[in-house]
Amino acid sequence: MTLFTLAPALLDEARRLGVYAIVRQHRKRALGVSVQNGKVESVGASELGGAGFQVFTASGHTAFGYTDGFDESEATAALRRTAESAARAEGMLSVPDRAIFSAAPLVLDLPDPRAERFDALSLERLTAGAKSAHEETRALSSETRVSTNATVNREDWRVDRSDGTTASWSVPRFVLHHAVTAGEGGSVATVRAHLFSADYEALGDPVAARLLSERARGAVRKALGLRTAGRYPAGVYPLLIDYALAKGLAHEAFGHAAEADSFRSSVLASGGRFRSGERVGRESVGVIDEPVAGDHAYQPIGANGFRRERVEIVRAGVLHEALADIFSAGPGGVPAKGAERAESYRATPLPRMSNIRIELAEAAPLPRPFEEMAPEDVRDLVGASGLFERFPKIVFLSGYTGGQVNPVLGDFVFNCQALYELTPGAMTLYRPAIFRGSLLAALGSIERAFGPLQLDAIGTCGKWGQSVPSSGGSHGYVFLEPNESIGVGGR
């Protein structure tokens, strides 16, 4: 991208000052449309861009600086101040790190041709498409209120280092969310449906449009049903979770605890080092993180300019690899995987997930595509698998609305959109309830899966004040045996 011209001057200045520098240039542009109950409420555009630089003194003391825009003289002055700060950091008893001095340079450019279409985007078409999808969802019921948000964005990144590294990539994203609300007063329920694509024109693609329609239909059905749904009693149950919740489990429970910058306190580490080789699940269970092309969280190159690699956090039920950058790999006793991400040019890169999934060696087939599975179909699927013979009552959690983890304690919690009690020949809807517990207990309880991998559950992941796109999934449905350390909330 021609705007990214600062690196030569900044690296020259770093050389003159006797420091090593990582220069990260970033630009993000976005357009968004919001439609509420039939009316376009806002159409907005945003644009940000600038340069961040992390400098290292010869002894490995570091500081980070950034400036918005691409003015060479301002950026150079900011780099000088940052270098001075790196020198002063030693006086603040900072911890030096010289790992970057042994890095091998990378020269790689990975543009996405779909991102190039951003400049030609028609806001009118985006608005019309969002409105059409909105109206289609509104037409499903006269008893719901619908809010629709559609955004398109393009991110461009370039990372240059003092060792000659020049790495760049671009990411296009289209995201549409419906929020369907039903009920009034104390019986309001809101359920969401989404569509993600790396194609800005996704709404014009019949397959994507049908997928969104199916999800919207499911959201309306759930929202209407939840108006009168009761609470499910808290307790320990055999659980069936859909792939969106399984993504939540993989992300909240394992992903964060496997981020190597946290190993001095993570439950998946001991003495600061990853507990590689320890069994944490059945032999059939794996947890894998990797960049998936065209995905919401796609990042083929780490924010420090290293190729991002596949990470098998759990292989055949055993802890195997971690989400490590070049700085956390050595102390954590794991190989570097280029797993660092930054929210923007203003942020220091941290080891983060990209697309994370729980994958089992085998999965029973679904009778129809996931999006066409009604709760009754899920009950019948469970029945056909023989699970009711062991567990006459199974709790099915559907849809993910977010979660949180304390990787130090190993506690996780997340919430669903709806809870169903499945019994032979019956199915009852209840209000959403939290799914909480200990991450190791949860992984150890995974017993079987149904359906092919579905990896398009999306979200936003927060860590140390930075938010980045996240994604992942699992097989359509994952079954967990009852375990005293994992439970469903409620009353």
Partner 1 sequence: MSVPAILEPLLDRLARRGTAGKTARSLPVDWRLSWTSYESSSIGVRDGQRASVHAPLTLGSGFALDYLFAWEDGRITTGAAERIAIADPDRFLELAHQAAYEDPDGANFAGPGRFAEIPLASEDVASDARSGGGAGFAALLAAGEAPMAPRGFKTWSGSISAGATLRGVLSSRGLDVRNASTHAGYSFWYEGLTGDAHGSRAPLATAEASERLDRACDLVQRLGAPERGFEGGTMAVLLHPKVAESFLSAYLLANIHGDRIHHGQSAFRIEQFGSADRVFAASLSLRLEPSVPMDTGSYRFTTEGVPARALSYVEDGRLVEPILDLKYARRLGRAPVPGPLSSDSLRLTGGRPMDEAEAIARAGRGVLVLSVLGLHTQDSTRGDFSISAPQTLAIRGGSLGGAVKAVLTGNFFDALRDPKLGLVAFPGFRMPGLLFTGSVGVDAEG
**Could you say which residues in the range 182-211 bind partner 1, by CB under 8 A?**
184-190
Q: Is 116 in the site for partner 1 (CB under 8 A)?
A: no
Sites for partner 1 among residues 207-236 (CB under 8 A): 231, 234
Number of chain positions touching partner 1 (CB under 8 A): 92
Exactly one of 239, 322, 405, 480 binds partner 1 (CB under 8 A); which one?
405
Q: Is 42 in the site for partner 1 (CB under 8 A)?
A: yes
Contact 239, 488 (CB under 8 A): yes
Stretch that binds partner 1, among 4-12, 259-267, 450-458, 468-476 (CB under 8 A): 259-267
Task: Name the token pair of 384.
Answer: 């056909």
Q: Please, how many CA atoms are within 13 Å of residue 359, restricted to the half-sphere of its CB?
A: 20
230/232 Cα distance (integer angstroms): 7
Sites for partner 1 among residues 360-379 (CB under 8 A): none
244/393 Cα distance (integer angstroms): 22
Exactly one of 46, 59, 228, 467 binds partner 1 (CB under 8 A); which one?
46
Sites for partner 1 among residues 141-180 (CB under 8 A): 145, 147, 179
Exactly one of 17, 40, 108, 318 binds partner 1 (CB under 8 A); which one?
40
335/321 Cα distance (integer angstroms): 8
63/81 Cα distance (integer angstroms): 9
Contact 280, 319 (CB under 8 A): yes
Q: Is 469 in the site for partner 1 (CB under 8 A)?
A: no
Task: Name the token pair of 253.
Answer: 């429970």
Q: Which is nearer to partner 1, 42 or 392 (CB)?
A: 42
Q: Is 429 in the site for partner 1 (CB under 8 A)?
A: no
Least CB distance to partner 1 at residue 68 (A): 4
Exactly one of 76, 406, 428, 466 binds partner 1 (CB under 8 A); which one?
406
Exactly one of 9, 17, 72, 94 binds partner 1 (CB under 8 A); which one?
94
Task: Name the token pair of 211.
Answer: 């997928």
Q: How many CB atoms lie within 10 A of CB 119?
A: 8
Sites for partner 1 among residues 314-343 (CB under 8 A): 327-328
Least CB distance to partner 1 at residue 386 (A): 30
User: Dihedral of CA 73/77/80/82: which sign?
Assistant: negative
Stretch that binds partner 1, among 151-159, 376-384, 431-439, 473-481 (CB under 8 A): 431-439
Q: Which is nearer to partner 1, 222 or 308 (CB)?
A: 222
Position 118, amino acid: F
227/431 Cα distance (integer angstroms): 9
- CA proximity to 381, closest of 445, 451, 430: 451
CA distance readout (Å), 298 to 27, 333, 458, 468:
16, 26, 11, 11
Q: Which is nearer to partner 1, 10 or 288 (CB)?
A: 10
Q: Which contiguous run of DSSP H or E holds residue 125?
A: helix 123-138
Q: Is 408 in the site for partner 1 (CB under 8 A)?
A: yes
Q: Is 491 in the site for partner 1 (CB under 8 A)?
A: yes
Stretch that binds partner 1, among 11-19, 58-66, 284-292, 309-317 (CB under 8 A): 58-66
Q: How many CB atoms lie within 10 A of CB 142?
A: 6
Q: Is 127 in the site for partner 1 (CB under 8 A)?
A: yes
Q: Is 423 in the site for partner 1 (CB under 8 A)?
A: no
Sites for partner 1 among residues 271-310 (CB under 8 A): none
Exactly one of 19, 63, 175, 323 binds partner 1 (CB under 8 A); which one?
63
Exactly one of 280, 433, 440, 480 binds partner 1 (CB under 8 A); which one?
433
Stretch that binds partner 1, among 354-362, 365-373, 377-385, 399-407 (CB under 8 A): 399-407
Exactly one of 335, 369, 402, 425 binds partner 1 (CB under 8 A); which one?
402
Least CB distance to partner 1 at residue 408 (A): 3
Q: Which is nearer to partner 1, 169 or 412 (CB)?
A: 412
Contact 442, 257 (CB under 8 A): no
Residue found by looking up tokens 């329609």 in the block:
213
By the 10 Å C-beta count (0-12 exposed, 13-18 middle, 19+ buried), 425 is classed as exposed
Stretch that binds partner 1, among 46-54, 148-156, 196-204, 373-381 (CB under 8 A): 46-54
Sites for partner 1 among residues 66-85 (CB under 8 A): 66-70, 78, 81-82, 84-85
For 291-372, where are the E strands, in sequence order? 311-315, 318-319, 340-341, 350-351, 355-360
Q: What are phi and psi for residue 260, nearest 5 degrees? A: -70, -15
Q: How many CB atoms lie within 10 A of CB 286?
A: 19
346/340 Cα distance (integer angstroms): 14
Q: Which is nearer to partner 1, 343 or 359 (CB)?
A: 343
246/397 Cα distance (integer angstroms): 10
Least CB distance to partner 1 at residue 127 (A): 7
